[in-house]
Amino acid sequence: MSLKSLSLTDNQQTEEDKKLQQQVKSSGAIPKHIAVIMDGNGRWAQKKGNIRLFGHKAGVESVRDITESCAQLGVEYLTLYAFSTENWNRPSAEINGLMRLLVQTLRNEAERLNKNDIKLVTIGQTERLPGKCQQMLEEVIELTADNKRMQLCLALSYSGRWDIKEAVKNIAKEVEKGNITPDQIDDDLIGSFLSTASVPDPDLIIRTSGEFRISNFLLWQLAYSELYITETYWPDFRRDELYQAIFSFQKRDRRYGKVKNGHNKSMSASVINQIRS
Ligand code: IPE
Ligand code: IPE
Ligand code: MG
């Protein structure tokens, strides 16, 4: 079976996959926002005796499969880390190859994204990308602007520190103009100055290729995201493993620094009783 035939449009979805998705949906909450550090393309290719770019090309198939399965499951936001600020330090041949691949992929996938009612947006310093990339991105963003089913956000020339740095600069400018006072700077205000302003923080962050680090991704936004790290290289990460990641997410107890669900009130009541006695 070719890699291409593994990715199916909605009406081609297998009965088995529909059943699996039903199981995922009925076993707990579907994360509203999933963010992915798509890592391991180069190692995947090298293991097969190929050049790194071969891995990036294969990674596009995973992007399509994960995007479509997330939309089918009812995920509202999917953010994919595609190119970091630090990735500009790679050899120019790899960077050029990645940029060409981005243009090709946008061209090939635009119609399908649109048919699937998926809206494309970006975060990051896209003005640093070659003109052709910027132009294709603008076209697909415009084409899909009214789509409602899911928002696919590509992080391109992105880093969490850049995002925070820009927010700090813009907040400082507003303070300088007298539009806000330093006392008004709180979590919500900072969040509203980040590139993800209109998007809820990720519920689940997936990193492929077994690395246990954030690599300058959404530093502010990941404060309480659940982590799922897998050894699988990105080109091998497909919907079956996405379902495993969501099953794992559904078993988590998200405490946000509090005590276990429902225990906060009873704890304080018992503390009061102890003090009284
Ligand atoms: C992720 O795969 C894609 C990008 C960072 C653009 P890598 O290219 O980092 O692959 P590895 O981690 O070197 O195997
Ligand atoms: C993180 O992967 C960036 C993207 C997936 C786009 P890297 O391969 O660049 O990260 P490090 O170098 O392993 O931390
Ligand atoms: Mg890597």
How many angstroms separate the alpha carbon of residue 181 from the centre of ligand 1? Answer: 42
pLDDT at 22: 98
Atom 13 of ligand 1, residue of closest alpha carbon: 42
**Three-state DSSP class for residue 154:** strand
Cβ neighbors of 198 (< 8 A, separation 6 or more) are none
pLDDT at 7: 45
What DSSP state is assigned to residue 83? E
* 114 is an active site residue: no
Which regions of the chain does DSSP assign to beta strands (E)? 33-37, 77-84, 118-123, 150-158, 204-207, 226-229
With 0-12 / 13-18 / 19 or more C-beta atoms within 10 angstroms meaning exposed / middle / buried, residue 169 is: exposed
Q: Which residue is associated with the tokens 């946000």?
A: 256
**Three-state DSSP class for residue 122:** strand
Please tell me the pTM assigned to this model.
Answer: 0.93
pLDDT in tens, the chain (277 residues): 333 334 456 668 999 999 999 999 999 999 999 999 999 999 999 999 999 999 999 999 999 999 999 999 999 999 999 999 999 999 999 999 999 999 999 999 999 999 999 999 999 999 999 999 999 999 999 999 999 999 999 999 999 999 999 999 999 999 999 999 999 999 999 999 999 999 999 999 999 999 999 999 999 999 999 999 999 999 999 999 999 999 999 999 999 999 986 665 555 555 556 656 6
What DSSP state is assigned to residue 153? E
pLDDT at 267: 52
Residue 122 structure tokens: 């970006």
53 vs 236: CA distance, rounded Å: 15
pLDDT at 268: 57
List the domain boundaries for the chain: 3-7+29-160+200-253+263-276
With 0-12 / 13-18 / 19 or more C-beta atoms within 10 angstroms meaning exposed / middle / buried, residue 76 is: middle
Instruction: Indicate the annotated binding residues for substrate.
Output: 40-44, 52, 56, 84-86, 88, 90, 207, 213-215
Residue 6 structure tokens: 């593994």
pLDDT at 260: 81
Ligand 3 (single-atom ion) residues, CB below 5 Å: 39
* 39 is an active site residue: yes
264 vs 164: CA distance, rounded Å: 33
194 vs 166: CA distance, rounded Å: 8
The CATH architecture one would assign to domain 3-7+29-160+200-253+263-276 is 3-Layer(aba) Sandwich (3.40)
pLDDT at 4: 38
